[in-house]
């Protein structure tokens, strides 16, 4: 008997679908065919990948298999139990780790674990053997609130919560989004150890190295299964989607403007009590440069960015952004920069045009200029017919392009991008980087953090933070040569594994 049997499952949101592709993208009518006649099976003890582009239907499939969502047609069984008629039995046998970790940020590590144990009618003590190998790595932080944990520690806690009741099947919906490469590797080492205990694992991921950790994968696209097979076979057959051509690296900015520094930092420190989140860093960034700001979770990147964007004050040291002092002129800095986070920074309940106008007004642009540039932007993005569409109904890739375009609408000197492509499929990430290159050619400095090491190769220069300090700074080629590593993934891993603080 297979661990999972899915037979002709379909699911539609919002009523009858009349034009599947149109409604799949959420551009009118309110109907989305999330799953369309999906069938596949997973063997007991198998590590199985459910992969596909954004909006393919992966999360809907996970929720149906965990008995959290009812299918319209078809059947599905987990460990021989029907997900509709025997949902109680199913829920006792599955562990589910959704995206964003599903933790309660204001509860401590121990309180989160006890809460999830109670949900499944067990105790931490009774289930400790099931989580010992993973939980023992974070147990000394049992009194720390989950919201104060690094990404890698949250990941281990969430996995412990999903395993505390000793499930036979584990579902993981992009569990490593927003997590650094070293922590991602550690998670997959843990998952492979769970396989040795006979646990069946079904995971979705946008990272190709993680796809290759699976024994088989199902490629889901626009709600339909397009192929099931080994990772190498599927990635090769659909290489136009999973391995789009790389971006040809071009010189960004003009020779004249690139001589001017728009960010200058000297001996910057940010301390929280005796803990130095940022510990004496110095660097500069030139106009029109694409500057990669890398580091493992907890290395100090976000704290440093908060100081540069005027959201936090340094403990000591100096810095300027666009010529303004980060200590005394943070309000002026905010007017001369753009910012985009992984959450896209858009208002979901406003239309495309309303979002553009709102942010343009915040940046102090005049009404006439807003009208002219809005029309120009809508034409450039081919959004003219969708200017009155609510942002929440746009496909993920469209949201991403709009959010970036809004962040540089006022032509800032610098745009800060905080993991803007987290969880996004390769083809969409490539399109986004084309927008970045275009902005840099116009003289806008791009200051970007990312956990995708192929994106690090696209940067002009890179800094890598370890334990609050900058451990390396240079072009990708310089860093690979200096540390004698074949690519930026190996460079990052080599440096990040030297971290000493928790």
Tell me the pLDDT tens digit for each residue of 344-399.
Answer: 678 989 999 999 999 998 888 899 899 989 999 998 888 888 899 998 888 777 88
- Which 8-state DSSP code applies to residue 302? H
Mean pLDDT over 111-121 rounds to 92
Look at residue 42 and tell me whether its pLDDT is greater than 80.
yes
The predicted structure's pLDDT at residue 30: 52
Angle at which helices 488-496 and 181-195 cross, to 10°: 80
Tell me the pLDDT tens digit for each residue of 224-244.
Answer: 999 999 999 999 999 888 888
Whether 6 contacts 40, CB under 8 Å: yes
- Model pTM greater than 0.85? no
| C-alpha distances in Å from residue 206, one per residue of 72, 202, 217, 398 | 27, 14, 13, 18
For the chain, the 3-state helix, strand and coil shares in percent, each to the nearest 5, are 40, 25, 35
Strand 337-341, strand 290-295: pairing: unpaired
Q: What percent of the chain has pLDDT over 70?
A: 93
Q: In 3D, which of 15, 297, 336 has the Cα closest to residue 184? A: 297
More confident residue, 298 or 282: 282
b (16+ CB within 10 A) / e for 460-472: bbbbbbbbbebbb
What's the rounded Cα separation, in Å, for the pair 230 and 215? 6
Mean pLDDT over 436-452 rounds to 93
- Which 8-state DSSP code applies to residue 144? S
Mean pLDDT over 493-500 rounds to 89
Please give the distance of CA 328 from its chain centroid, rounded to a whole number.
33
What's the rounded Cα separation, in Å, for the pair 90 and 234? 30
The predicted structure's pLDDT at residue 184: 87
The predicted structure's pLDDT at residue 19: 34
Tell me the pLDDT tens digit for each residue of 198-214.
Answer: 999 999 998 899 999 99
What's the rounded Cα separation, in Å, for the pair 141 and 182? 20
Mean pLDDT over 331-356 rounds to 87
CA dihedral 115, 120, 125, 130 (to 10 degrees): -110
| 94-97: strand order across its sheet | 94-97, 169-173, 200-204, 47-51, 216-221, 224-229
Tell me the pLDDT tens digit for each residue of 454-474.
Answer: 899 999 999 999 999 999 999
């Amino acid at each position: 008997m297979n661990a999972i049997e899915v037979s002709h499952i379909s699911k539609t949101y919002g009523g009858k679908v009349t034009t599947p592709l149109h409604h799949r993208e959420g551009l009118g009518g309110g109907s989305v065919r999330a799953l369309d006649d999906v069938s596949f099976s997973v063997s007991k003890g198998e590590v199985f990948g459910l992969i596909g582009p954004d909006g393919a239907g992966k999360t809907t499939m996970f929720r149906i298999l965990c008995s959290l969502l009812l299918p319209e047609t078809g059947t599905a069984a987990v460990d021989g139990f029907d997900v509709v008629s025997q949902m109680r039995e199913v829920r006792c046998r599955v562990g589910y780790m959704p995206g964003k970790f599903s933790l309660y940020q204001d509860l401590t590590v121990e309180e989160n674990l006890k809460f999830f144990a109670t949900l499944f009618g067990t105790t931490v003590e009774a289930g400790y053997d099931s989580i010992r190998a993973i939980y023992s790595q974070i147990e000394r932080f049992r009194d720390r609130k989950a919201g104060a944990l690094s990404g890698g520690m949250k990941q281990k806690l969430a996995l412990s919560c999903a395993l505390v009741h000793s499930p036979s099947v584990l579902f993981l919906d992009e569990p490593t989004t927003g997590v650094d490469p070293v922590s991602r590797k550690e998670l997959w080492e843990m998952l492979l150890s769970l396989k040795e205990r006979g646990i069946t694992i079904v995971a979705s991921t946008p990272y190709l190295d993680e796809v290759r950790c699976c024994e088989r994968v199902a490629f889901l696209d626009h709600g339909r299964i397009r192929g099931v097979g080994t990772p190498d076979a599927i990635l090769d057959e659909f290489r136009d989607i999973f391995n789009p051509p790389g971006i040809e690296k071009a010189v960004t900015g003009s020779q004249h403007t690139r001589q001017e520094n728009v960010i200058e930092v000297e001996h910057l420190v940010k301390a929280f009590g005796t803990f130095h989140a940022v510990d004496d860093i110095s660097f500069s960034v030139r106009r029109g440069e694409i500057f990669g700001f890398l580091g493992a979770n907890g290395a100090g990147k976000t704290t440093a960015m908060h100081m540069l964007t005027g959201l936090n004050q340094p403990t000591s040291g100096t810095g300027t952004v666009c010529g303004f002092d980060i200590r005394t002129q943070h309000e002026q800095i905010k007017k001369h920069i753009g910012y985009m986070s992984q959450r896209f920074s858009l208002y979901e309940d406003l239309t495309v045009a309303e979002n553009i106008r709102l942010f343009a007004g915040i940046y102090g642009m005049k009404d006439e200029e807003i009208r002219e540039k809005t029309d120009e932007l809508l034409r450039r993005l081919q959004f003219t017919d969708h200017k009155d569409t609510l942002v929440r109904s746009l496909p993920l890739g469209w949201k991403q392009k709009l959010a970036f375009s809004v962040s540089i609408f006022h032509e800032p000197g610098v745009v800060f991008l905080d993991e803007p492509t987290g969880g996004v499929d390769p083809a969409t990430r490539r399109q986004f980087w084309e927008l970045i290159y275009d902005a840099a050619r116009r003289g806008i400095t791009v200051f970007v953090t990312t956990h995708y090491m192929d994106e690090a190769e696209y940067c002009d220069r890179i800094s890598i933070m370890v334990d609050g300090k900058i451990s390396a700074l240079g072009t990708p080629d310089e860093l690979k040569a200096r540390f004698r590593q074949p690519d930026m993934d190996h460079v990052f891993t080599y440096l990040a594994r030297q971290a000493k603080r928790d």
